[in-house]
């Protein structure tokens, strides 16, 4: 399993988050017909650590999560609950992924007219 799968499973197992977004959690892109609110995740960059033997066994990807909603307040609320559910804990799975807060920003998409709360996390994970 990959760290993406482990994160996906942790989000799907979070009752407070699924109460807000149901099954509307996506990697990379959501379909344009997706109803709000929803969250999109993507890997922005990936850094690894190489041991002296040349084996790269730890990865430190930067993962961005974007909560999208019709109102700014809804986007903020969803992201706040998302952070509470994931931040600072090891997630289940073979990748042994943990997340550390790395940055936050707000946005509004002029085409869809949706508000977004975007959070970056630096992950630490086994390479698999």
Give the long-range contacts of residues 17-20, CB within 8 A, separation 24 or more. Answer: 17/81, 17/82, 17/85, 20/77, 20/78, 20/81
Strand partners, 108: 115
Distances (CA, A) of 43 to 27, 47, 62, 63, 74: 9, 11, 6, 4, 24
Q: Which CATH number fits domain 3-126: 3.30.1370.10, 3.10.450.50, 3.40.50.300, 3.30.2000.10?
A: 3.30.2000.10
Give the tens place of pLDDT for each residue, 63-85.
999 999 999 999 999 999 888 87
pLDDT of res. 84: 83
Find the distance separating the first CA and the last CA of the chain, reported in whole Å: 7
Quick check: 96 pLDDT over 80?
Answer: yes
Give the tens place of pLDDT for each residue, 2-45.
888 888 888 888 887 888 888 999 999 999 899 999 999 999 98
pLDDT of res. 63: 93
């Amino acid at each position: 399993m990959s760290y993406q799968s482990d994160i996906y499973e942790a989000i799907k197992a979070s009752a407070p988050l699924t109460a807000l977004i149901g099954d509307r959690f996506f990697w990379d892109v959501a379909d344009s017909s997706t109803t709000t609110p929803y969250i999109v995740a993507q890997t922005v960059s990936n850094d690894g650590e190489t041991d002296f033997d040349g084996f790269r066994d730890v990865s430190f990807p930067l993962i961005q999560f974007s909560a999208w909603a019709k109102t700014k307040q809804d986007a903020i609320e969803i992201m706040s609950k998302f952070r509470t559910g994931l931040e600072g804990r090891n997630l289940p799975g073979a990748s042994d992924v943990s997340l550390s807060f790395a940055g936050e920003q707000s946005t509004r998409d002029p085409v869809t007219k949706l508000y977004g709360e975007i959070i970056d996390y630096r992950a630490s994970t086994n390479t698999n």
